[in-house]
Amino acid sequence: MREDRLGPYSPAGEEKIATGFKRREFLKRSALAGGGMVLGQRLLTDGGASTLDAMVAPQTVSEKVAVRLRVNGSNYGLSLDPRVSLLDLLREQLDLPGTKKGCNHGQCGACTVLVNGRRINSCLALAVIHDGSEITTVEGLARGDELHPLQAAFIRHEGFQCGYCTSGQICSAVAMLREVEQGTASHVTSDVRRQGRVELTDEEIRERMSGNICRCGAYPGIVAAVREASGKNERGA
Partner 1 sequence: MKPFAYTRVTNNQAAVQAVLREQTAKFIAGGTNLIDLMKENIEHPNQLVDINRLDLARIEEHNGGLRLGALGRNSDTANNRLVRERYPLVSQAILAGASPQLRNAATNGGNLMQRTRCYYFYDVAMPCNKRQPGSGCGALEGFNRIHAIFGASRQCIATHPSDFCVALAALDAVVQVEGPQGARSIPFADFHRLPGDTPEIDTNLKRDELIVAIDLPAASSVFAAHSYYLKVRDRASYAFALVSVGAALDVQDGTIRQARVALGGVAHKPWRAKEAELILTGARADEQTFRRAAGAAMQDAHGYEHNSFKIELGKRAIVRALTVAAVKGEQDESKNE
Q: Which residues are near partner 1 by CB under 8 A?
A: 11-20, 26, 58-63, 65, 82-83, 85, 104-106, 109, 112, 118-121, 124-126, 128-129, 172, 175-176, 179, 182-187, 189, 191-193, 195, 206-208, 210-213
Least gap, CB of 104 to partner 1 (angstroms):
7
- Distance in angstroms (rounded) separating the CA atoms of residues 154 and 157: 5
Give whichever of 139 and 207 is closer to partner 1, judged by the CB atom. 207
91 secondary structure, DSSP code: I
C-beta of residue 161 within 8 angstroms of C-beta of residue 218:
yes
CA distance 112 to 166: 10
Name the DSSP letter for residue 143. B
Query: In this complex, which beta carbon is closest to partner 1, that of residue 134 or of residue 179?
Result: 179
Give 163: exposed, middle or buried? Use CB within 10 Å, 0-12, 13-18, 19+. middle
**Minimum distance from CB of 144 to partner 1 (Å)?**
28
CA distance 207 to 213: 12
The CA-based angle 157-115-132, given to 5 degrees, is 155
Least distance (Å) from partner 1 to the CB of residue 146?
A: 26
2 vs 83, which CB is nearer to partner 1? 83
Q: Give least dist CB 19 to partner 1, A.
A: 6
Least CB distance to partner 1 at residue 171 (A):
9
Nearer to partner 1, 2 or 197 (CB): 197
